[in-house]
Amino acid sequence: MENVNLKINGLDVSAPAGSTILEAAHIAGIKIPTLCFLKDINEIGACRMCIVEVKGARNLVAACVHPINEGMEVRTNTPQLIEARKRTLELILSDHDKKCLSCVRSGNCELQALCQELGVADENYFSGEMNRYEPDTSAAHMVRDNNKCILCRRCSAVCEKSQAVGVIGPNQRGFATFIGSPFEMGLGETSCVSCGQCIAACPTGALYEKDFLDDVLAAIEDPEKHVVVQPAPSVRAALGEEFGYPMGTDVEGKMAAALRRIGFDKVFDTDYSADLTIMEEANEFIERVQNGGVLPMMTSCSPGWVKYCEHYFPDLLDNLSSCKSPQQMFGAVTKTYYAEKMGIDPKDIVCVSVMPCTAKKFEIGRDDQDAAGVPDVDISITTRELARLIRKVGIDFQSLPDEGFDDPLGESTGAGVIFGATGGVMEAALRTAVETLTGEELKSVEFTEVRGTDGIKEATYHVADMDVKVAVASGLANAKQILEKVRSGEADYHFIEIMCCPGGCVNGGGQPQVHADVRNFTDVRAVRAKVLYDNDAAKPLRKSHDNPSIKKLYEEYLGKPGSEKAHHVLHTRYVKRSIN
Amino acid sequence: MPEKKQTVPFSGTKEQEEALLQVIAGLKDEPGALMPILQKAQDIYGYLPMEVQKMISDETGIPLEKIYGVVTFYSQFSLSPKGKYRISVCLGTACYVKGSGDIYNALMEKLGIVGGECTPDGKFSLDACRCVGACGLAPVMMVNDEVYGRLTVDDIDDILAKYE
Judged against a pLDDT cut of 60, whether residue A134 lies above it is answered with yes
Judged against a pLDDT cut of 90, whether residue B32 lies above it is answered with yes
* pLDDT level of residue B6 (50, 70, 90 thresholds): low
* pLDDT level of residue B8 (50, 70, 90 thresholds): confident
The one-letter code for the residue type at A571 is H
Judged against a pLDDT cut of 70, whether residue B4 lies above it is answered with no
Judged against a pLDDT cut of 80, whether residue A1 lies above it is answered with no
Question: What pLDDT is recorded for position B9?
Answer: 84
Question: Which H or E run includes A7?
Answer: strand A3-8
Q: What is the CATH number of the domain that holds B112?
A: 3.40.30.10
Contact A178 B73 (CB under 8 A): no
Judged against a pLDDT cut of 50, whether residue A557 lies above it is answered with yes
Q: B69 with B89, same domain?
A: no
Contact A172 B72 (CB under 8 A): yes
**A531-548: average pLDDT:** 97
Q: Tell me the HSE value of B76 on the side-chain side, using a 13 A CA sphere.
A: 9
Q: How far apart are CA A356 and CA A86, in angstroms?
A: 35
* pLDDT level of residue B88 (50, 70, 90 thresholds): very high
Query: For residue range A213-223, what is the model confidence (pLDDT) as tens digits?
Result: 999 999 999 99
3-state helix, strand, coil split of chain B in percent (to 5) is 45, 10, 40
Q: B67 with B103, same domain?
A: no
Length of chain A counted residue by residue? 580
Question: What pLDDT is recorded for position B7?
Answer: 65
- Mean pLDDT lowest for which of A237-246, A361-370, B3-12? B3-12
Instruction: Count the domains in chain B.
Output: 2
**B96-111: average pLDDT:** 96
Higher pLDDT, A271 or B29: A271
Measure the CA dihedral A346/A352/A358/A361, to 10°: 30
For B80-107, give the DSSP string. SPPPSEEEEEE-SHHHHHTTHHHHHHHH
Q: Is residue B5 in a domain? A: no
Statement: A142-211 belongs to CATH 1.10.240.10:
no
Q: Is residue B53 in a domain? A: yes
Among B53, B65, B72, the residue with its CB nearest the CB of A166 is B65
Length of chain B counted residue by residue? 164
Sheet holding A11-16, edge to edge: A11-16, A3-8, A73-75, A51-54, A61-62
Among A169, A176, A182, the residue with its CB nearest the CB of B2 is A176
Judged against a pLDDT cut of 60, whether residue A278 lies above it is answered with yes
The one-letter code for the residue type at A575 is V
Q: Among A267, A219, A529, A533, which Cα is nearest to A400's?
A: A267
Contact B72 A167 (CB under 8 A): no
Q: B116 with B49, same domain?
A: no
Report the gap between the CA of A412 and the closest CA in chain B (Å).
Answer: 42
The one-letter code for the residue type at A543 is K
For B142, the domain range is 85-161
Contact A183 B6 (CB under 8 A): yes
Question: What pLDDT is recorded for position A386?
Answer: 98
Residue that terminates a domain, selected from B39, B73, B107: B73
Q: Is residue B2 in a domain? A: no
Q: B18 with B38, same domain?
A: yes
Q: B53 with B101, same domain?
A: no
CATH topology of domain A214-570: Rossmann fold (3.40.50)
**A253-257: average pLDDT:** 98
Q: Which pairing describes strands A3-8 and A73-75: parallel, antiparallel, or unpaired?
A: parallel
Judged against a pLDDT cut of 50, whether residue B29 lies above it is answered with yes
Q: Which residues of B touch A146 (CB under 8 A)?
A: 1
Judged against a pLDDT cut of 60, whether residue B5 lies above it is answered with no
What does the angle CA A543 – CA A549 – CA A554 come to, to the nearest 5 degrees? Answer: 95
CB A471 within 8 A of CB A491: yes
Question: What pLDDT is recorded for position A463?
Answer: 92
Q: Which residues of B touch A314 (CB under 8 A)?
A: none
Contact B66 A136 (CB under 8 A): no
- Chain B interface mutation, best of A147, A183, A193, A198, highest count of B Cβ atoms under 10 Å: A183
Question: What pLDDT is recorded for position B132?
Answer: 87
* pLDDT level of residue B2 (50, 70, 90 thresholds): very low
Contact B63 A166 (CB under 8 A): yes
Share of chain B above pLDDT 70, in %: 96
Contact A133 B1 (CB under 8 A): yes
CATH topology of domain A3-77: Ubiquitin-like (UB roll) (3.10.20)
- Chain A interface mutation, best of B65, B74, B77, highest count of A Cβ atoms under 10 Å: B65
Q: Is residue B80 in a domain? A: no
Q: B60 with B89, same domain?
A: no
* Chain A: residues touching B (Cβ < 8 Å): 133-134, 136, 146, 156, 160, 165-173, 176, 178, 180-184, 190, 579-580
Query: For residue range A420-456, what is the model confidence (pLDDT) as tens digits?
Result: 999 999 999 999 999 999 999 999 999 999 999 999 9
Among A133, A136, A168, the residue with its CB nearest the CB of B65 is A168
Return all residues near A500 (Cβ < 8 A) that are at least 6 apart.
Answer: A163, A193, A195, A302, A303, A304, A305, A308, A359, A474, A475, A476, A479
Judged against a pLDDT cut of 60, whether residue B68 lies above it is answered with yes
Q: B44 with B112, same domain?
A: no
Judged against a pLDDT cut of 50, whether residue B3 lies above it is answered with no
Global confidence as pTM: 0.93
CB A388 within 8 A of CB A262: no
Q: B65 with B130, same domain?
A: no
**Which regions of A356-504 does DSSP assign to beta strands (E)?**
379-382, 456-463, 466-474, 495-499
Q: Is residue B148 in a domain? A: yes
Question: What are the extents of the domains in chain A?
Answer: 3-77, 142-211, 214-570
Report the gap between the CA of A48 and the closest CA in chain B (Å).
Answer: 22
Q: B56 with B94, same domain?
A: no
**A234-246: average pLDDT:** 98
Q: How far apart are CA A279 and CA B96, in angstroms?
A: 75
Q: How far apart are CA A162 and CA A179, in angstroms?
A: 18
Question: What pLDDT is recorded for position B1?
Answer: 37
Judged against a pLDDT cut of 50, whether residue B137 lies above it is answered with yes
Q: Is residue B94 in a domain? A: yes
**B89-101: average pLDDT:** 95
**B9-16: average pLDDT:** 92
Q: B105 with B58, same domain?
A: no
Judged against a pLDDT cut of 80, whether residue A516 lies above it is answered with yes
Q: Is residue B46 in a domain? A: yes
**B131-148: average pLDDT:** 93
Q: B94 with B141, same domain?
A: yes
Q: Is residue B66 in a domain? A: yes
* pLDDT level of residue A464 (50, 70, 90 thresholds): confident
Contact A160 B64 (CB under 8 A): no
